[in-house]
Structure 1
Amino acid sequence: MRNSWYRRMLLSYFPIFLITVTILVFLSFLVVNEISQKETVKADQISTGYIVDTVQMALKEIEMNALDEVERNSRYNDFLQADGPHERDAVYAVVDSLRTLAAKDELVDSVYVYRSGDRQTLTTSGLLEWDEFADRPFVELALGQPAYQGWSLIRDYHEMGSDAKRRVISMYKRAPLPFGTQGFVVINVNMYALEQKIRTMKDTDVSFLQIRDREGNLIFSTRPSEPGDAEAAEGRILNRIPFQATGWTFESGIAAGQLFMWVSVVSYIWIVIGVGTVLAAVAYLLYITKRNYKPIRAMMHRIEAVRDRMDPPGGAKSDELLLIDRALENLIRQTADYEKQQQENMLIARRQLFIDLVQGERLGDAGERLDRLKPLPVQVTGPYLLVLVEILEFPRFQQGFSVQDQSTLKFALTNVLQEMARDEGLHGWGEWTEANRMGLLLGVSPDVTEEETQERIRRLSERGIAWTHDHLGLSLMVSVGPRSDSWEEVSASYQAAARALQHKLSLGQRAFILSEDMPANAATRTYTHLQGIAEFVKQFRLSDGDWRSRLERIFDDLKADALKDEDIRMLLLTMMEMLAREVGDLSEQLQSCFTGERAGSWRRAVEETTSLDKLRSLFTEQLAEIYRTFVAVSETKSHRAMIVEMKAYIEENFADPDLSLKHLSDRFQISGKYASYLFKEEFNMKFVDFMVQLRMAKAERLLLETDDTVQHIALQVGYANSITFGRTFKREVGVTPGDYRKLKAKSQRDVPI
């Protein structure tokens, strides 16, 4: 046991280390070798390209110097014309010029001028007759190909038959320039001088260069090898560059015996370095393993002591690795529990801090807690805005989701709103202060104007409301408190935003509220509304059929004064209590309208309604039912009472497509024929005409006041389809519904302002 763990540690990774290092060294050698070869080929290509460019420039310079001299020196034309008396001067001048051209460049072997008129040639030695001139074959070749512009193949050149032959390449130009026919100028470049120039540019100890003509014959080489040794040469050639001016091909490579020698040297050095590194790493591994083993040895001694205490005497010994695994599992589990508890404590502390801020309590150490808990993503020193977000129809939300799902949805909503706030350049901190209400504290940059801040919050609210409706199926209302310059003023902003949320019924569809927009004197109008309610109850008790108009005015006044939700419900329920005292005792049927299970369900619907329009509809339906019962009871089913009740019923239900005399007879327990007779006697019109009149009147209002389609309006006034509705409307009004809407719209536009 003393050294077993040391050997385990060493043998666990030492073989892997050796294999890995060996593979890396081998791969490094291959990579370096490949890179070196590519760089060698590239360097040789650059060197050979430089030689080719130099030769090309030298030949071009020779050509241009000759052309320039022939063009500028008029004596050349004089010589070609052979004008007699001036010929001698022209000969001397041209000979001097030819010598100058030959001496100007060391590559130029000779220059001569051929005159076609008398077939004489002027060289640097003087004027030669055709039979005396030894380069007659080339002149005949030039005469046969006068348009050729390039350099010739390598040839032997000598002026006189007794002169030694020299290897040259030649170029001829017709004279006078550029396309004369009186002769031509021949320029000969000495191949030996050209080869020596190439040799000076190539290090023959390391590399070689050879030149081949158009047929592939070797014409020059810097190597000492024989020209016939083509196979050996082919294996060492690295680059081939064509030379268009002469048709040659320049071939280059590394000299035999030197090919990649320096690459091999670098590779050997690299291998030596790699082996040295491996040996050093092995020594370091032995050292570091021995040093790191000391704490492990101490730990293993403690594990042995624990194992000796846990294992029974004489029993099998527990595996020390199993003991370590159990200890680590316990440690990890305790750490996770601790971190989870810390996170929960942090969330609770943040929520408590938020509640203290909005309630204005325990503000003495608020700054310290803010620095420690860091609820906002960045340090914000003000100003601040408090936004309240309330879930509408919260009882439905509670019934539709479990407690766990409710918490998940609230958490998701909080994160989404905070993310949207960051997108708008605001720093948000959200906490749920009540079951259905979340507070969102927003930090605003001081350089942002108040108008820009309100616009950002408006965009944030609209995006949040739309996202919540689309993804969670919930409706929200957002209220914004006034701007706060410090933490101490956040409580006042919260209270103002909360007061604004108490006006949801009167605000209707407005999902975004600014606390500054709320009226300040709404509470003082309560007495006026009570007076109006008392007048309504009196009118209702007297069976005045105009009670619906009075009820509409009550609701319009409540909406205009923007009363609190609780005040609106209190006033309306007070109205029902006053009405119950007035008419509730007339019959048990009337009493059941104000008490009992049905009345209780109606009251719960009133409490849960979040819109004043829905509340208006609930009260209208309930009061219409009470009114019908009250009239029926108070008139004891007299003819007038019955027809008044029947008329009221038709006015309330004329939009029902099933409304008919049969329906009325069943409703009021009389025959259809008798119902038609009563209606004719009382109102001097048929039941059908009265119902059509009501439907057309409402249809005209909808055509003028809404943008609904004709089909939709037909359904709203009791017709199953737009065809029947259109035919009836045209018969009663004189025009189709579409034309009626256009005519009315045009007449309204033509009215002067």
Structure 2
Amino acid sequence: MKAKGPLMGKTWFYRLLLSYIPIFFIVITFIFFVFFQMLSEQNRKEALNANKMLSLQAMRLIDTSLKAIDNAVMLEIINNKVLNDFFNSPTDGDPYVNINAVKKMKDMITSYPLIDSIYWVRYEDQFVLTNATSDYVSSYNDHLFITSNKMSSSNKKWTSVRSFKPFSVIKGKQVVSLVRGVPFITNEKGLVVINVSTESLRKMTEDLYDPNLSFIRVKDASGSALFTDSGAADTAKVYSHYVSSYSDWTYESGLVNGRVVHFISSLYNVWFMIGLVMIVLGIVWMIVVSRRNTRPLEQIVSRLRGYTLPIPGSLVTKGRIDEFIFIESALDNMMEQANQFQQKHKEDLHLRTRHLFHKLIEDRPALSIDQWKKEADSLQLPAPTNRQVMAVIEIDKYGNFCGDYSSQDQILLKFALRTMVQELAAKYDCELWTEWTSASQLCVMVFEQSDDEELEQQRTLELFENVRSWTQQYMKFSVTIGIGQTANQLADLSKSFKEAIESLKYKIMLGENGVITYKQIMSQGQAEVFSHLNAIRSIVQSFRLLEEDWAHKYDELFQQLNQGLLKKEEIMSLMNYLVYYLGRELTGLSKEVQEIWNREGLPKLSGCIDACESLEQMREETQQLLTDLAAALQEVQNKRQHAVMIRDMRRLIEEQFASPNMSLEYLSENYGLNAKYVSKLFKEETGQKFVDFLIHLRMQEGKRLLAEAHFSVQEIAERVGYTSAISFSRVFKKIVGVSPSEYREEAAKRPS
């Protein structure tokens, strides 16, 4: 290994030094020019903007105050009884009316502190009433102003600045006046004059600016100054000029003098000298740093020159090793390995986090608190506390959500939802652990910190209610949140998770876009699913016979469902049973009816039931489909030759079912048809055999008489068309399932 000569050391030093200097000078020069250019422009813009805002703010403040007074006066002229009583008083006047008028003036001065004085002029007797005294126009100090404004009181603008002197012994004030005629349209009864002191306006604006730096000039429409500003000297420079569209007054503002701008400009030479000094210091520092930094590099190069292992040909240039390429290659390999390790670590960390979360909520295999704490510490997760609560946030109408957004947008929205939950939790001082457990459900584990369990539950409810409302307000979808009960032990976590999932199953009953707690579900009690089957069968039978009351029964069914608390799958089972039973009943009808059912009724009803997310939506959409189906069936039935006759036949059976003579032979004699043909037509048109229909009517009436009347079984049998109590009892038990006497006993036990 050859020793490194002094020339090599100088070469490295000069190479590094010369590589820094051009960039250094370019950057410094650029920064200097940009800095002073931006500083000058910024100062100019800030001065202009500041003065514009000052003028605008002063104009808006004064205009708003004057408009408020103007509007109040207009309302008083139109609506106030005291004012109208004054102007409608007799010529001699009424002291009581005058007292009330003065009181009203003082109330207005109290309500609007800008008002300096008020007086009213009544034309009929030339009477002037002020808030301090009363007089007649001819002897009142302001009579010239009253006379000049008598015919121009409808002008909406405020007057120019003028001197107002209510008493000869008191020095006059500079005021602007608002003049309104009474009444509002004709102005023939008098004037209302409102005087506002210009000094009050000056005090209103004096807090808006520093008089040592800025000034405001306000001139009326004639060019007279409303008030003087000590800072507005002749040498002052005006930067903004505005004219009010309401009062026609001119607002000007600017700087009192250019001392601030001059001071900033004078800093140019100071900054220039500082810049030169910094350049010199930068050069010295660069030399020192370059010399210091080249030493390690020289040592690395020396070691590379003595490297005896085989070196790839790409690293050899003109018979010598290119040290920079060698070092760059080594660093690239190291960085690539580090990035791969870091990426793999992140992936493993995410998978381990999800795995731990699922182990906890599914309780497989069971963990101890110490194991959980150890895992949480290594994965940088919240440590377990004495109590945890599980909640599940479910995206409503997830099918629509997937249809409305692309896959990338769905990922972004889910990320936003998860981030929002964590940010809101920070506001409530809550620790959370969130994981997506399915495509539409975000599972949240809340770590309760306080010993007050009731307080923690309330805070958790407020947090998730805020999550729900925020999602509804700022995102184009809504969420429903299910919350389980508090898990006081580690083994209860999976139970709390299952309770949260169970709560979401009642979303169809309690509605979307809400917060549902398992405690709320348990307190309401469960409804019995099988209790609604009879109502469904009754609806289907009425629908099959095209009776008008099927829709009423359908509404009653959903009213009963609303009163209970059923899961989504239970509601779906009931509706699927309705579709099944309806299809079974319609199968026995004509071929045309079966085709309509298979083509229109069955697919639409099934699809509607699967798509519905709420009970009310299911009622409205399925009832509309059934209504359309009933209309189609009615149309088919009306086209059939014997449809009208069968409807008349049904009405006859319903009226005379209690007659022992009611039979197919009786019908054939009445309608002139063969008994077998009557039976066939009845079955085709109604989907029910004549005998079954007759027995159904008789049994319904028999049950009513058994429950409501005190007739014997023989008497009831005769009343419903049976000559023998034995025949009636045999048929009744076959259809109802119990004997007539047993049915009567059960009916007596039911609450009335």
TM-score of the superposed pair, with normalisation by structure 2: 0.46
Which of structures 1 and 2 has the bigger CA Rg? 1
